[in-house]
Structure 1
Amino acid sequence: MLYEAEERVPDANYMAAIAKAGADMYFIITGQRIAVTPPAAAWAPIDSEKLGRIIEMLEAAAKQAGRRWPAKKLAEVAAEVYNALGEDQGFDEPRVERILKLVVNR
């Protein structure tokens, strides 16, 4: 609260501690984000079965909601859902169905 009211300024030790914890210091200082492309080694291969199942489920959810998307839109939304699930999580079909209902109705 004191920082927001400009009654106090964080010292270098505090700034170093939050940077060490992973804070985006450039954003904190400037309010802007820098787009950083991760190195190629950081990219995990796509699980084609998982992505295919998401697409099937997305098509079904869209059809149930009375919507039909062009292939490009379907692929973009499926990729968003795939990325949101993360690489470490298993395929929890009820969870994916809940996510897809939200996505289809947004």
Structure 2
Amino acid sequence: MTTLLTVERARALRRRLSPPEARLWVRLRRRQLRGLKFRRQHPIGPYIVDFYCAEARLAVEVDGQCHDHPDRIAHDRRRTAWLREQNIRVMRLAAESVRVDLDGVLEFIAQTALERRGG
């Protein structure tokens, strides 16, 4: 269940995307990626995912170096497991990949979303 606090946190996060998230959002918004609709900083239950495509039930996470910390790794695993229970696939992308190979990242996202959508 998504709470009001989670929704408020998501709104705040939308106003301060990281540079890799902002770079990716420019190419995902307005159905620019093969007509797929993405939302940014989207609340799902108790969590907020960086980008979400509802029609494919696909969450896209852009992970910076802070995700390498043991506490963060454990949190990410719990979160991914919970989302998987909701039939949501979580795609984790390194922020560096978004920076150096945006076109490749976009192709990977598109292929995965279209496969999950069934077309």
TM-score range, shorter chain: 0.3 to 0.5
- The structure with the largest alpha-carbon Rg is 1
Q: What TM-score do the two structures reach when normalised by structure 1?
A: 0.37
